[in-house]
Structure 1
Amino acid sequence: MLIRDFISGEETELRRVFMSSVHTLACDFYTKEQLNAWAPAAYDQEKWISKIAALRPFVATIGGRVAGYADLQESGYIDHFFVSGDFPGRGIGSALMQHIHEVAAKRGLLQLSAHVSLSAETFFTKHGFLIDERQTLAVMGIPIGNSRMSKALLANNSFKPNPLRGSA
């Protein structure tokens, strides 16, 4: 597995990962209507390209195939964190999370935060995040539950999954 910076031109592939992650890995936590509102088949390609360019995500590849991606904003906020439904349970999420922690250390960040889907909540908890607030957001008029989560980092920002929660 290789984790690298996003390369302009692979926005369509990241959209495929996003769609696969939402519709495959989150399907036990949300209704079909909620999944379609969150990740609709029809989308504005220019907005997506602009969003990905602004996120500057890290991309995980296996054998040259994009298997997942995640970003880390200057504030410590993780906006996108998605693993393809084609690669579940292969350590991609954990590798991306470790990479985020390494980048956070280089940037001197003291906290990470994210709005986390119900399907990803356990994963983030295993990596030391705590639920700050459960919430319901309207996406395309459809209510979708998620959690605002955060994690205080150690002074040296070392990556340590929560030993009481197991590992992903």
Structure 2
Amino acid sequence: MSHTELRIRPYQPGDARALTDLFYDTIHSVGLLHYTPEQVAAWAPLPKEYERWAQRLSQWPAWVALLDEVRVGFITLTDSGHIDLAYTHHAYQRQGIATALYEHLLRAVAEQPLNTLTVDASRFARPFFENRGFAVIRENRTVRRGQRLQSWRMALTLLEGCSGS
């Protein structure tokens, strides 16, 4: 995929419903490759919680990837440098969208006084972040709705004057 086709812009409140759908649809499809149906149902319980997601997406800086105005991915970053959410639509996986979003995030943080980026990476996100220099700090012990969801806290030290790549 050519990055000239992909456009990344800041999150807008009108994105909330589509990004909520993207999250749920991705977890309920790609998630099943790495987690049990019970774990997926606990991670992204139905019915979809549109209002809660609108609040969460508005809480921190977020960027949205669009292909022909279709929202195909998003990434968020807290003030402390934690990548809270990073998802690519299940139909657009492995096309460079997550990489483009991550590189956009790095450019955005280059001027901020952050020393470290962190992320809680799922089984399918861990290789992506490892390939970008993140190291595992610990395994998380998250339990949602009675299901243990395996993930890892990972960190990347940013060099001064460097975008971390």
1:93 correspondence with 2:98: yes
CA–CA separation in structure 2 for the residues paired with 1:2 and 1:108 = 26
Give runs of aligned pairs for residues 58-97 of structure 1, distance below 5 A.
58-97=63-102
Kept in 1: contact 2:25–2:90 (CA 8 A): yes
Residue 7 of structure 1: aligned partner: 12
Listed one character per residue, the Cα deviations across residues 85-104 of structure 1 (whole Å, up to 9, x for unaligned) are: 01011100000110111111
CA–CA separation in structure 1 for the residues paired with 2:51 and 2:95 = 32
Structure 2: 5+ residue stretches without partners: 1-5
TM-score, L = length of structure 1: 0.90
1:50 correspondence with 2:93: no
Give runs of aligned pairs for residues 8-157 of structure 1, distance below 5 A.
8-157=13-162
Listed one character per residue, the Cα deviations across residues 50-91 of structure 1 (whole Å, up to 9, x for unaligned) are: 111113310000111000000111110110000000101110
Corresponding letter in the other structure for 1:142 = Q
RMSD: 1.2
CA–CA separation in structure 2 for the residues paired with 1:43 and 1:89 = 25
Corresponding letter in the other structure for 1:121 = R
TM-score, L = length of structure 2: 0.92
What percent identity do the matched residue pairs reach?
28
Q: How many residues align?
A: 160
Structure 1: 5+ residue stretches without partners: 161-168
CA–CA separation in structure 2 for the residues paired with 1:131 and 1:25 = 22
Matched position secondary structure for 2:117? strand
Corresponding letter in the other structure for 2:112 = R
Listed one character per residue, the Cα deviations across residues 100-143 of structure 1 (whole Å, up to 9, x for unaligned) are: 11111121311100111011000010011000001221112211
Residue 163 of structure 1: aligned partner: none
Greater alpha carbon shift after TM alignment, 36-45 vs 67-76 = 36-45
Listed one character per residue, the Cα deviations across residues 33-66 of structure 1 (whole Å, up to 9, x for unaligned) are: 1011101221333222111111331000011100
Kept in 1: contact 2:109–2:163 (CA 8 A): no
Kept in 1: contact 2:137–2:154 (CA 8 A): yes
1:159 deviates by 4.1
